[in-house]
């Protein structure tokens, strides 16, 4: 049986560093037990998460997320079978949503709904190629920590907030 990959977006409710730490600790524990891998990109107005693993376990995990009061407006953006995982070594990688993301204004104007499946997946493909320490801090090829980039999406002087292609068919199921 092949693994599946599910990417969803939500708005966090009651978001702060303590809540995020709690979510990450719980996700890492549960996912390690269930053979699920993935990554979480979260800031105060947006969470994007990718879950990878056996279909029944990923579906069960997503069902719990749908009932979790810390998430509002949960939308399944992409679900598909996969041949390989993007995050095979991570029970839950964390990226502080400093890079490869939309601005809060773009999110409010519907950027997620207009993004194509490839754009959504591309966010996580870029993250998967970026080295990270066990604490999730991004590092460069030499192993030096990368300073946190500009507040809403600048990394290495390049802006990644131009995702505006129309998304066909709405949310995947």
pLDDT at 134: 52
pTM, full prediction: 0.73
pLDDT at 133: 56
We report the CATH number of the domain holding residue 33 as 3.30.70.100
pLDDT at 11: 84
Tell whether 166 is covered by a domain. Answer: no
Tell whether 11 is covered by a domain. Answer: yes
Tell whether 169 is covered by a domain. Answer: no
Domain boundaries, position 146: 3-159
pLDDT at 139: 42
Q: Which residues pair with 82 in a beta bridge?
A: 3
Q: Say what the alpha-carbon torsion angle 63, 81, 113, 123 is, to the nearest 10 degrees.
A: 110
- Written as tens digits, the pLDDT of the chain (173 aa) is 689 999 999 987 777 788 788 888 888 999 999 999 999 888 878 889 999 999 999 999 999 999 988 778 899 999 999 999 999 999 999 876 655 578 888 988 999 889 999 999 998 998 898 887 555 444 433 344 444 333 323 232 222 222 222 222 333 33
Phi-psi region for residue 70, left (φ > 0), alpha (ψ -120 to 50) or beta? alpha
Tell whether 165 is covered by a domain. Answer: no
Kindly state the DSSP code that residue 136 receives in the 8-state scheme.
-
Kindly state the DSSP code that residue 10 receives in the 8-state scheme.
E
Q: How many domains does the chain have?
A: 1
Tell whether 135 is covered by a domain. Answer: yes
With 0-12 CB in 10 A as exposed, 13-18 as middle and 19+ as buried, what is 158? exposed
pLDDT at 140: 39
């Amino acid at each position: 049986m092949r693994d599946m990959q599910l990417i969803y977006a939500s708005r966090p409710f009651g978001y702060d560093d303590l809540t995020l730490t709690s979510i990450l600790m719980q996700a890492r524990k549960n996912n390690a037990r269930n053979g699920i891998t993935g990554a979480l990109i979260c800031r105060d107005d947006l969470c994007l998460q990718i879950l990878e693993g056996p279909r029944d376990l990923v579906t069960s995990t997503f069902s719990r997320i749908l009932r979790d009061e810390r998430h509002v407006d949960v939308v399944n953006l992409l679900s598909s079978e996969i041949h390989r995982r993007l995050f095979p070594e991570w029970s839950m990688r964390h990226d502080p949503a400093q890079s490869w993301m939309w601005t809060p204004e773009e999110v409010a104007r519907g950027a997620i709904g207009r993004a194509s499946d490839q754009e959504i997946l591309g966010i996580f493909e870029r993250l998967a190629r970026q080295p990270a320490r066990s604490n999730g801090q991004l590092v460069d090829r030499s192993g030096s920590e990368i300073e946190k980039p500009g507040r809403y999406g600048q990394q290495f002087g390049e802006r990644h907030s131009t995702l505006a292609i129309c998304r066909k068919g709405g949310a995947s199921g």
